[in-house]
Structure 1
Amino acid sequence: MARAGLAVLLAAGGLVAAQATGAQAVVGAQTVPAQAAANPYERGPAPTNASIEASRGPYAVSTATVSALSVSGFGGGTIYYPTSTADGTFGAVAVSPGYTAYQSSISWLGPRLASQGFVVFTIDTLTTLDQPDSRGRQLLAALDYLTRSSSVRTRIDSGRLGVMGHSMGGGGTLEAAKSRPSLQAAIPLTGWNLDTTWPEIKTPTLIVGADGDTIAPVATHSQPFYASLPSTLDKAYLELRGATHFTPNSSNTTIAKYSISWLKRFIDDDTRYEQFLCPLPQASLTIAEYRGNCPHTS
């Protein structure tokens, strides 16, 4: 009886080990499949500091142009997406330009983010002069198009979506997150909005400001935005050192590094990226200040 009991324990231990390693275990004549990975949304290899600072990630990227004539609610744009379908579906992000600007001003984010395992939609707006509330509606319209009608809709997990935007588009990012709490991540880049209080937001939000911004100074925009977010929310404030309002219009390693980490952590629920966000990054040659809550709760 003792030997029989030991055999059962050994078999059970083998099953647990197989589940932990992603293998299969055979108990008697029955093959028991291993449990799925703890997080089915992880995409790409384990990240390193070098991999998230690189100009391109592990995925080859394809593009699709969307004409303004073929959509409603926003001004068309460009979709950047991982070429391979081997890893299944991806989370998606819509990105808005700023006041008087076109998608070309934020186009560098398309391949930079998509190559890390996201579908990215850089959009043009209905006019270049529209305000943050309109930009917010257009970001949501772009996500709806992306997930319901676009040529890449089958590559997207419609439950894993985020928004980003520069300047007026950054203000629109906050508006979109307020209007659609189901969004998984929001990143305003040197955002501008006359509304500086956002206690209603339930979406994990990374506010990016610039210490030399004279158009949307951090003291009257990014800092109040951050301070007004609920204390219970996963949130962070990154202030770029030696930067201006227009720094997000050019390829920037610091913006990319923390945007990728934020999107991965909250759209993909990929805790492998927590190491780049917690403990909080320290001031450096490129970071004037970083605030946030650690560890993250969602």
Structure 2
Amino acid sequence: MQHLFSRQHPPRQSRPRTFTSLLTAAAATAGLLMTALAPGAQAADNPYERGPAPTEASIEASRGPYATSRTSVSSLVASGFGGGTIHYPTSTADGTFGAVVVSPGFTAYESSIAWLGPRLASQGFVVFTIDTLTTVDQPASRGRQLLAALDYLTERSSVRNRVDAARLGVMGHSMGGGGSLEAAKSRTSLKAAIPLTGWNLDKTWPELRTPTLLVGADGDTVAPVSSHSEPFYESLPRSLDKAYLELRGASHFTPNTSDTTIAKYSISWLKRFIDDDTRYEQFLCPIPRPSLTIAEYRGTCPHSS
């Protein structure tokens, strides 16, 4: 028995060295993990983050951290849409920005959605609020015009060098909202779509591949949520990043004037999907609860990265 014990002794001596090696490797791995999780690591991983870390107050503010400028685009030089106004961060220190084009609704002009320009731009976007070719253009036409305006913005505009052409989105009110769905259907490379009290005769959108936030109003009698925003939302693919925000005490025309709830969730959605900025995920997930301004909110959480 003693003889057998002594034969097994050398392997037992080698175990401490093996164990020490494992501890060393584990410590090295832990060090790498700590480095990856260190402050600033996330920012380094995402070159599209713009501006300081957001807070509830910062996304509800009437202006964000960026000073903005604007330039007008005449209908005479516009091709495929009716001209408009480009709002953009004045500083170029942060490089290029994602961009969004916004369409007005039926019988309306750019002035009806103009408030979104400086408000969104001050959060770190180039924003093009447009006029349509005629005030009675239908959603399909408005969708084409949104895309034409994006092309102008990225290819011909005086601020094209400030725009990242790979990170674009669309918004619109009423028929312009229906147009934003049409645009996203036609150009699947878009990163975000936000129809505001959208109107469209087409109720089903299973083809969409663009993360979409639908904003409805509980008092909307022009595009009631039961026959527009809700079926739009339900028809979107289950696998898609999507959300439905129903405003409380609101009408079809609520998006035509400055609205903190619309701005808060639009900014969060655009940041999350145009900039891939997960710092804004906190405002979208968990699902926001009903409040004085929110009648209902549905969505897919957590969102894919």
TM exceeding 0.5: yes
Distance 2:30 2:245 in 1: 46
Distance 2:292 2:89 in 1: 32
> In the alignment, does 2:100 pair up with 1:93?
yes
Distance 1:131 1:8 in 2: 64
The counterpart of 1:260, out of the listed 267, 281, 284, is 267
Instruction: Name the structure where helix makes up a greater proportion of residues.
Output: 2
Partner of 1:111: 118
For residue 104 of structure 1, give the secondary structure of its aligned residue in structure 2: helix
Larger radius of gyration: 2
The counterpart of 1:277, out of the listed 274, 280, 284, is 284
For residue 68 of structure 1, give the secondary structure of its aligned residue in structure 2: coil
Partner of 1:132: 139
Query: Kindly tell me: are residues 12 and 170 of structure 1, through their superposed partners in 2, closer, same or farther at Cα, counting changes over 3 Å?
Result: closer
Query: Kindly tell me: are residues 180 and 13 of structure 1, through their superposed partners in 2, closer, same or farther at Cα, counting changes over 3 Å?
Result: same
Partner of 1:238: 245
- How far is the alpha carbon of 1:297 from its aligned partner? 1.3
CA RMSD, 1 decimal: 2.2
Residue pair 2:43, 2:49 contacting (<8 A) in 1 also: no
> In the alignment, does 2:57 pair up with 1:47?
no
Distance 1:65 1:216 in 2: 31
Distance 1:108 1:203 in 2: 24
The counterpart of 2:207, out of the listed 200, 210, 222, is 200
Identity %: 79
Letter in structure 2 aligned against 1:227:
E
For residue 64 of structure 2, give the secondary structure of its aligned residue in structure 1: coil
Partner of 1:143: 150
Distance 1:233 1:12 in 2: 35
Distance 1:265 1:240 in 2: 21
Structure 1 residue runs without a partner (length 5+):
24-33
Residue pair 1:67, 1:76 contacting (<8 A) in 2 also: yes
For residue 226 of structure 1, give the secondary structure of its aligned residue in structure 2: helix
Residue pair 1:22, 1:37 contacting (<8 A) in 2 also: no
Letter in structure 2 aligned against 1:213:
D
- How far is the alpha carbon of 1:71 from its aligned partner? 1.4
Residue pair 2:216, 2:245 contacting (<8 A) in 1 also: yes
Letter in structure 2 aligned against 1:280:
I
Deviation >3 Å, runs of 4+ = 5-23
Distance 2:55 2:245 in 1: 20
Query: Kindly tell me: are residues 198 and 9 of structure 1, through their superposed partners in 2, closer, same or farther at Cα, counting changes over 3 Å?
Result: closer
Query: Kindly tell me: are residues 16 and 219 of structure 1, through their superposed partners in 2, closer, same or farther at Cα, counting changes over 3 Å?
Result: closer
Partner of 1:31: none
Partner of 1:251: 258
- How far is the alpha carbon of 1:35 from its aligned partner? 11
Letter in structure 2 aligned against 1:245:
H
The counterpart of 2:178, out of the listed 158, 166, 171, is 171
Query: Kindly tell me: are residues 261 and 22 of structure 1, through their superposed partners in 2, closer, same or farther at Cα, counting changes over 3 Å?
Result: closer
For residue 178 of structure 2, give the secondary structure of its aligned residue in structure 1: helix
**TM-score, normalised by the number of residues in structure 2:** 0.88
Distance 2:24 2:297 in 1: 55
Distance 1:64 1:231 in 2: 40
Distance 1:124 1:243 in 2: 24
The counterpart of 1:224, out of the listed 231, 240, 251, is 231
The counterpart of 1:57, out of the listed 64, 69, 73, is 64
Deviations 1:196-220 (A, max 9, x none): 0000000000000000000000000
Distance 1:150 1:239 in 2: 35
Partner of 2:194: 187
Deviations 1:39-87 (A, max 9, x none): 1000000000000000000000000000000111000000000000000
**TM-score, normalised by the number of residues in structure 1:** 0.90
Letter in structure 2 aligned against 1:116:
Q
Query: Kindly tell me: are residues 214 and 65 of structure 1, through their superposed partners in 2, closer, same or farther at Cα, counting changes over 3 Å?
Result: same
For residue 45 of structure 2, give the secondary structure of its aligned residue in structure 1: coil
Residue pair 1:99, 1:168 contacting (<8 A) in 2 also: yes
For residue 302 of structure 2, give the secondary structure of its aligned residue in structure 1: coil
- How far is the alpha carbon of 1:255 from its aligned partner? 0.2
